[in-house]
């Protein structure tokens, strides 16, 4: 079992295996149904088994999936991404978010002929030795040429860039601060603009890690609302509404470097996830998913805040409302969070005690009401805990 899904790390009574899912709901292996606020840790943005996406996937599957090269749908998908993503002049496809972030770093190094990459302390960019949050099996050399800065602290970026000196190849940064187990933070617009200016000044590549947030906050790339366009973006999760796909998009100036880097994988030209991604991008636009998620998230946030206040519980909500993180005051060991989530699960809502969650477009007002009722059961459980104030 992958570490973060190990039974020992789940709240008491939490399901470890899942039997099925539909729209905004998931059923565990014992047949219990939940309003799903994890959405497969991000990939599901329209809803599980979205009929339009699954129909597109089935049409392609009837023709073929993993072939000797790409199917024509790859051209359509690349063109759609280039149309949609503000900075993108080209796109290349992979499987994992980590494939995309690693590819961006490698392309930045190939393009500049330099080695140093600036990485924010605590940011998650994937699960390979260069970026994994867990040190087991990692050597110091796996992290060579990395300089740390603090998210939203431009002075720390300037200091890291100075430390990198003439060797600065690029800066990789998440769309917002969604580090594990700390309150989430939106990017300060001045911080984002400062990164752009620094990269321009130093001839380095600005890499936006949009794996987690991509297509949930802005249809043209998560920093488009800030008016800041990266040189390279890494996408994955929501791109295929649950089908395994990742993408790197880049500016024209990086095209040659991207072509020189050896990027490949046995299933990277699989056509079914590309057909699913094309349908997902279409649905994101026609269904106006980004504002829909934001509105649902706002109802959830306000409802949770009201109920937490009524119970006198110190609940901290952070991040974009459509990607909420819930943390409790004085809960360093997540004892409160786990008890809250366990009670909410009993009441039919699948929440997470330490990771940000994800709404999807299949959630409706009734689902949010179910989640709020389940949260109320969770707050009640906290009140009933030994030692509760």
Interactions with a second copy, residue window 130-149 (CB under 8 A): 130, 132-134, 136-139, 141-142, 144-145
> In the bound complex, what is the minimum distance in angstroms from residue 234's beta carbon to a second copy?
12
Distance CA 63, CA 253 (A): 36
Q: At what angle do helices 289-311 and 271-286 cross, to 10 degrees?
A: 70
Which tokens belong to 3? Answer: 């570490």
Residue 75 CB, shortest distance to a second copy, in Å, is: 8
**Residue 95 within binding range of a second copy, rule CB under 8 A:** yes
Sheet holding 18-22, edge to edge: 18-22, 25-28, 33-36, 349-350
Least distance between a second copy and beta carbon 223 (Å):
21
Q: Is 106 in the site for a second copy (CB under 8 A)?
A: yes
Structure tokens at 181: 């187990």
Span of 11-19, 79-87, 341-349, 374-382 interacting with a second copy by CB under 8 A: 11-19
| Residue 33 contacts a second copy per CB under 8 A | no
**Element containing residue 26 per DSSP (H, E):** strand 25-28
> How many Å apart are CA 316 and CA 329, to the nearest integer?
7
Backbone angles phi, psi at 101, to 5 degrees: -65, -40
Q: Taking CB under 8 A as the rule, does residue 31 contact a second copy?
A: no
The answer to whether 248 contacts a second copy (rule: CB under 8 A) is no
Segment near a second copy (CB under 8 A); pick from 122-130, 190-198, 363-371, 372-380: 122-130
Exactly one of 9, 32, 33, 61 binds a second copy (CB under 8 A); which one?
61
Q: In the set 47, 77, 101, 109, which binds a second copy (CB under 8 A)? A: 109
Taking Cα atoms as reference points, which of 168, 226, 153 lies closest to residue 193? 226
By beta-carbon proximity to a second copy, the closer residue of 22 and 185 is: 22
Classified as helix, coil or strand, 303 is: helix
Q: Does 387 bind a second copy (CB under 8 A)?
A: no
Chain positions 198 to 217 lying near a second copy, rule: CB under 8 A, are 211
Distance of CA 271 to the CA centre of its chain: 23
Beta bridge mates, 116 = 168
Give yes or no for residue 80 binding a second copy (CB under 8 A). no
How many Å is the maximal CA-CA distance in the chain? 64
Tokens in use for 135? Answer: 């040190």
Q: Which of 12, 13, 51, 64 binds a second copy (CB under 8 A)?
A: 64
Q: Does 233 bind a second copy (CB under 8 A)?
A: no
| Minimum distance, C-beta of residue 74 to a second copy, in the bound complex (Å) | 8
Asked if residue 338 binds a second copy (CB under 8 A), the reply is no
Residue 16 binds a second copy (CB under 8 A): yes
Could you tell me the smallest distance in angstroms from the CB atom of residue 17 to a second copy? Answer: 5
The residue (of 259 and 388) whose beta carbon lies closer to a second copy is: 259
DSSP 202-270: HT-EEEEE-TTTTTTS-TT-TTGGGT---SEEEE-GGGGTTS--EEEEE-GGGHHHHHHS----TTTT-
Instruction: Establish if 267 lies at the interface with a second copy (CB under 8 A).
Output: yes
């Amino acid at each position: 079992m992958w570490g973060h899904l190990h039974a020992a790390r789940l709240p008491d009574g939490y399901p470890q295996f899942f039997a099925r899912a539909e729209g905004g709901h998931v059923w565990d292996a014992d047949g219990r149904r939940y309003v799903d606020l994890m959405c497969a840790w991000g990939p599901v943005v329209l809803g599980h088994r979205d009929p339009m996406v699954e129909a597109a996937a089935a049409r392609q599957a009837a023709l073929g999936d993993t072939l000797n090269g790409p199917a024509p749908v790859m051209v359509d998908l690349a063109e759609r991404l280039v149309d949609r993503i503000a900075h993108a002049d080209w796109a290349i496809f992979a499987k994992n978010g980590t494939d995309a972030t690693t590819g961006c770093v490698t392309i930045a190094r190939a393009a500049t002929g330099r080695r140093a990459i600036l990485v924010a302390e605590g940011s998650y960019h994937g699960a390979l030795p260069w970026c994994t949050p867990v040190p087991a099996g990692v050597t110091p050399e796996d992290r060579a040429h990395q300089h740390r800065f603090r998210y939203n602290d431009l002075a720390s970026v300037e200091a890291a860039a100075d430390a990198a000196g003439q060797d600065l190849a690029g800066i990789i940064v998440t769309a917002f601060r969604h580090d594990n187990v700390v309150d989430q933070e939106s990017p300060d617009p001045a911080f984002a603009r400062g990164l752009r200016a620094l990269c321009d000044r130093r001839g380095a590549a600005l890499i936006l890690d949009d794996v987690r947030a991509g297509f949930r906050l802005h249809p043209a790339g998560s920093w488009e609302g800030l008016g800041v366009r990266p040189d390279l973006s890494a996408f994955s999760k929501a791109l295929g509404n649950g089908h395994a796909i990742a993408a790197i998009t880049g500016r024209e100036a990086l095209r040659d470097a991207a072509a020189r880097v050896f990027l490949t994988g046995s299933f990277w030209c699989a056509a079914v996830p590309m057909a699913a991604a094309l349908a997902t991008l279409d649905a994101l636009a026609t269904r106006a998913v980004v504002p829909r998620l934001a509105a649902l998230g706002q109802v959830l946030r306000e409802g949770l805040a009201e109920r937490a206040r009524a119970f006198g519980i110190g609940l901290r909500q952070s991040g974009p409302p459509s990607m909420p993180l819930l943390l409790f005051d004085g809960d360093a060991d997540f004892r409160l969070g786990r008890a809250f989530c366990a009670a909410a699960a009993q009441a039919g809502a699948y929440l997470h005690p330490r990771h940000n969650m994800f709404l999807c477009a299949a959630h409706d007002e009734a689902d949010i009401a179910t989640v709020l009722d389940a949260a109320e059961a969770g707050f009640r459980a906290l009140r009933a805990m030994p030692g509760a104030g």
